[in-house]
Amino acid sequence: MTRLRPLLALALALAAAPASAQDTQRLRTDKAEVIVETVARRLDHPWSLAFLPDGRMLVTERPGRLRIVSQDGELSEPVRGLPPVAARGQGGLLDVALDPDFARNRLLYLSFAEDRGEGRAGTSVLRARLNEAGTELADSRIVFRQEPAHTGGNHFGSRLVFDRNGNLFVTVGDRFDLRDQAQNPGNHLGKIIHIRPDGGPAPDNPFLGRDGTRPEIWSIGHRNVQGAALNPATGELWTAEHGARGGDEINIPRKGRNYGWPVITYGVDYSGAKIGEGTKKAGMEQPVYYWDPSIAPSGMAFYTGDKFPAWRGSVLVGALAGKLVSRLETNGDRIAGEERMLRQLGERIRDVRQGPDGYVYLLTDSSQGRILRVRPAD
């Protein structure tokens, strides 16, 4: 009996351990039983994940590091040649996206909070070439800078999504203290940006040639978009946007349209005070879906793979405050239902990606962040 006590103590300790400490878990969802397994760990607030053509992963860490992660979870040394980032508050190194022709040109794009001096910062986008060894960036160039820069450390956005024509959508936040400027087309605050790969305005943008407007703008009236993905069925951009207290939104930002912030919202201020004029106003768009209370949505992806047939066509959205993955069933441009999955992990989910193998990959937002792989249990 004495010999069994250490084993019993170990079993009890494992049973009591937080979910985040377990390398592999078997969890049930409405449509599938899944295995969630740790691919890599020891990442410092990982923010974004992109798959290289050979199956390895590029991962950004908010303090300002870009790493390559092998398929068996080995972390590279940080890639050299990144610019300094303003790693304060919600700022730092944010999204990464591969050029559609990356296999030939080795170009990638990074969004980050750029220090502009005197305590000010703004969301910028860097284009650079990753060398064949994967160790260094070269030919670096800033192709977009959010104007104006602002003090404070909140609401930088920012996701990067290429459209079907090879132009780039960039989501940028309202910088929190300047929320009324989300309605002003004369600046980049609280907007969806649409640029060519070289940084010029995309040719189909709605404000081209208009006095007093920024030609890079695609849509206005956004708060803090931290999730974005292209709908594979339609080619349209879908976004996940932070509200204040309540009012997190799924939107389909269409050219030249106004998505209401801060004039209309389904949320209230953190003090409980009313924001704006209500939930609806003529000339302003309604969200496709909203959450109240907030879940703090972050990375998102449309699931198109064959590993989870019942999830096909769903939008998967990570949640920070909610510590879950929201699976949104779609019917055309509508959300037909929601399943809140993987709460048992107890993790802030920063990014969600479908891998080339058809599995789902997640980034957990912490100083000991992990890459998780979700696969069918059978």
**Token code pair at residue 284:** 């302003």
> Rounded to an integer, what distance in angstroms lies between the CA atom of residue 44 and that of residue 65?
9
Chain mean position to CA 215: 24
Q: Could you give the 3-state DSSP secondary structure of residue 349? A: strand
Active site residue 155: yes
**Token code pair at residue 134:** 């994967």
> Rounded to an integer, what distance in angstroms lies between the CA atom of residue 36 and that of residue 179?
38
Options 45, 155, 188, 242, the catalytic residue: 155
Q: In which residue are the tokens 């909140």 written? A: 154
Q: Which amino acid is at 374?
A: V
> Rounded to an integer, what distance in angstroms lies between the CA atom of residue 332 and that of residue 34?
27
Q: Could you give the 3-state DSSP secondary structure of residue 103? A: helix
Residues 6 or more apart in contact with residue 139 via CB below 8 angstroms = 128, 129
| Residues with catalytic function | 155
